């Protein structure tokens, strides 16, 4: 193989491992075809973007699945999951401050582990973002219907709130929430960030309202036999609730639209994880204190928080407020996750690995309009017409894979470019990134066989796409930076 500049032949294996210089990645920041992204996001907006992507359906449904595994010790399960997420968050914070661009773990992998690994990472992120936001959009209809039922005795017909095969014809609410997020994203990053800030404050307020009401019915007797299943139960519930922390890295996809990315990105990532952890622990403690843990298995996972409020008050209006909070929470998640996916595609397109349409920036709005519309269309189709089922679990393995690569990337970049300016350094290096890799691999190994099959099939499809398109159009191979550098 030869590069497009007539450089010396490069072996096939070395060409797959060629890395993109950090200086080149940073220099391209914000630039797309037809214009540049606009730097408008403050530290507060970046932090709440990550909180918005993380604090969503998970906390509204996860307790019903986790409490029966751990009992009242589910509070410790949230702490365990937070510690696990923290190892990855610290690695993300270092690389986000060192390479402040939109590609998140895809760009970090490109700079440290090579083009092929970066492609696989980006491909996994596409699965994570597209399927997860589709699943979240699907759930929005059920919460919206629950709110209408409590407020006005009206429910959305099943034919219009579910996909084919699950009693419906088309999931109209799912399309509506995706279109709402698309409208905000097309108006501009500043407008999207402002809307997300409002929604995040509202859903935090709703969860604090839940805690205030639940604590009025707090009974210390419900905490007796605190850990009935022992450490095994705490660990099992920790694996379940870990996925409620996915999304804290959303700030890293805004590297090219942050006002002060080297300072603000690491802070936003760490702050968002702290905020989410405090809220999760408070909600968990309030819930198991207000309702005996054995009743969670009976109440059902999807109604766990509502069941706690019913048990605490015996009235329907608190549940109505909670349903409203869930509606707001899901809309915020759809907005922030769609934003993250469009920015990762933007970075991949700029590198030539996906078609150039994804990096076209509107000169007026300074956002990737075509990219956003295409992503919205694909997500709407998934959410409206396809029963996602167990495919949703595959998003977890893709996320853990990306997290592990980021931790490896910290180690590689410390060795290859110790001279780079780093606004944040991962403490207890190299122990912290090594623990991050170990915890991610541990959780990946515990996932089911079906999840692994879906992950491997998706990876094979991605490899085919890379060799048929990405490798042929790679700008690193064709440009001066791609003169066979591994």
Q: Are 72 and 290 in contact (CB under 8 A)?
A: no
Given a cut of 60, is residue 109 above it in pLDDT? yes
Q: SS3 of 36, please?
A: strand
Given a cut of 90, is residue 463 above it in pLDDT? yes
> pLDDT band at residue 483, thresholds of 50, 70 and 90?
very low
* Among 347, 345, 315, 245, residue whose Cα is nearest residue 28: 347
pLDDT of residue 485: 36
State the Cα–Cα distance between residues 475 and 3, nearest whole angstrom. 10
pLDDT (mean) for 31-55? 82
* Among 406, 351, 394, residue whose Cα is nearest residue 124: 394
pLDDT of residue 166: 63
Q: Are 392 and 132 in contact (CB under 8 A)?
A: yes
> pLDDT band at residue 7, thresholds of 50, 70 and 90?
very low
pLDDT of residue 8: 41
- Chain-centre distance for alpha carbon 385: 23
Min mean pLDDT across 97-101, 128-132, 177-181, 365-369 is at 128-132
CB atoms within 10 A of CB 428: 11
Min mean pLDDT across 73-82, 150-159, 286-295, 447-456 is at 150-159
* Among 114, 62, 405, residue whose Cα is nearest residue 249: 405
Most confident of 276-290, 313-327, 386-400: 276-290
pLDDT of residue 65: 76
* End-to-end C-alpha distance for the chain, whole angstroms: 13
pLDDT of residue 13: 55
Given a cut of 90, is residue 411 above it in pLDDT? yes
pLDDT of residue 164: 63
pLDDT of residue 15: 62
Q: SS3 of 425, please?
A: coil
* Among 94, 90, 117, residue whose Cα is nearest residue 20: 117
pLDDT of residue 486: 35
pLDDT (mean) for 458-480? 86
Q: Are 280 and 125 in contact (CB under 8 A)?
A: no
Q: Are 396 and 240 in contact (CB under 8 A)?
A: no
Average confidence score pLDDT of the chain: 82
Q: Are 473 and 352 in contact (CB under 8 A)?
A: yes
pLDDT of residue 183: 93
Q: Are 55 and 279 in contact (CB under 8 A)?
A: yes
pLDDT of residue 6: 41
Domain map of the chain by residue range? 39-480
* Among 99, 116, 178, residue whose Cα is nearest residue 384: 178
Given a cut of 60, is residue 464 above it in pLDDT? yes
- Chain-centre distance for alpha carbon 244: 9
CATH annotation of 39-480: 1.20.1740.10
Give every CB contact of residue 339 below 8 A, 6+ residues apart in sequence: 49, 185, 189, 192, 250, 253, 254
pLDDT of residue 434: 95
Given a cut of 60, is residue 248 above it in pLDDT? yes
Q: Are 117 and 412 in contact (CB under 8 A)?
A: no
Higher pLDDT, 302 or 143: 143
The percent of residues in the chain predicted with pLDDT above 70, rounded, is 86
pLDDT of residue 443: 77
State the Cα–Cα distance between residues 352 and 356, nearest whole angstrom. 7
Min mean pLDDT across 8-17, 190-199, 275-284, 415-424 is at 8-17
For helices 43-54 and 189-216, angle between their N-to-C axes, nearest 10 degrees: 60
> pLDDT band at residue 484, thresholds of 50, 70 and 90?
very low
pLDDT of residue 408: 94
């Amino acid at each position: 193989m030869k590069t497009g500049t007539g450089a010396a032949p490069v072996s096939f294996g070395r060409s797959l491992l060629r890395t993109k210089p950090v200086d080149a990645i940073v220099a391209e920041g914000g630039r797309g075809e037809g214009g540049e992204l606009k730097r408008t996001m403050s530290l507060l907006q970046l932090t709440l973007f990550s909180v918005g992507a993380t604090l969503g359906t998970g906390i509204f449904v996860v307790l019903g699945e986790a409490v029966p595994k751990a009992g009242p010790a589910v509070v410790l399960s949230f702490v365990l999951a937070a510690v696990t997420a923290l190892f990855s968050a610290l690695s993300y914070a270092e690389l986000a401050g060192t390479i402040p661009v939109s590609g998140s773990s895809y760009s970090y992998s490109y700079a440290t582990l090579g083009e092929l690994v970066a492609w696989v990472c980006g491909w996994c992120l596409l699965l994570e973002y597209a399927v997860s936001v589709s699943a979240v959009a699907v759930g929005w209809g059920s919460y919206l219907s629950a709110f209408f039922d409590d407020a006005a005795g009206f429910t959305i017909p099943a034919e219009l709130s579910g996909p084919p095969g699950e009693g419906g014809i088309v999931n109209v609410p799912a399309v509506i929430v995706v279109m709402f997020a698309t409208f905000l994203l097309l108006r501009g990053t500043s407008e999207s960030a402002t809307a997300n800030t409002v929604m995040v404050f509202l859903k935090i307020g709703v969860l604090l309202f839940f805690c205030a009401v639940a604590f009025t019915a707090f009974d210390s007797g419900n905490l007796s036999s605190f850990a009935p299943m022992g450490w095994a139960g705490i660990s099992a519930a920790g694996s379940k609730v870990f996925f409620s922390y996915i999304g804290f890295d959303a700030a890293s996809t805004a590297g090219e639209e942050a006002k002060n990315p080297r300072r603000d990105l690491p802070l936003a990532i760490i702050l968002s994880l702290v905020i989410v952890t405090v809220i999760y622990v408070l909600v968990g403690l309030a819930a198991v204190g207000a309702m005996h843990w054995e009743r969670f298995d009976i109440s059902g996972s999807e109604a766990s928080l509502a069941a706690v409020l019913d048990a605490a008050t015996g009235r329907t209006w608190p549940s109505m407020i909670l349903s409203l909070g869930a509606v707001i929470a899901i809309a915020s998640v759809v907005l922030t996750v769609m934003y993250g996916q469009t920015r990762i595609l933007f970075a991949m397109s700029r590198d030539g690995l996906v078609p150039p349409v994804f990096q076209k920036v509107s000169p007026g709005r300074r956002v990737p309009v075509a990219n956003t519309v295409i992503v919205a269309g694909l997500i709407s189709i998934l959410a409206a017409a396809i029963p996602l089922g167990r495919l949703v679990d595959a998003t977890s393995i893709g996320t853990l894979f990306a997290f592990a690569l980021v931790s490896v990337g910290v180690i590689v970049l410390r060795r290859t470019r110790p001279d780079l300016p780093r606004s944040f350094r991962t403490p207890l290096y190299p122990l912290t990134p090594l623990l991050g890799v170990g915890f991610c691999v541990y959780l990946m190994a515990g996932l089911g066989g079906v999840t692994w099959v879906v992950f491997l099939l998706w990876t094979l499809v991605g490899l085919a796409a890379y060799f048929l398109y990405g490798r042929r159009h790679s700008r690193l191979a064709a440009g001066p930076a791609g003169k066979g550098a591994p």
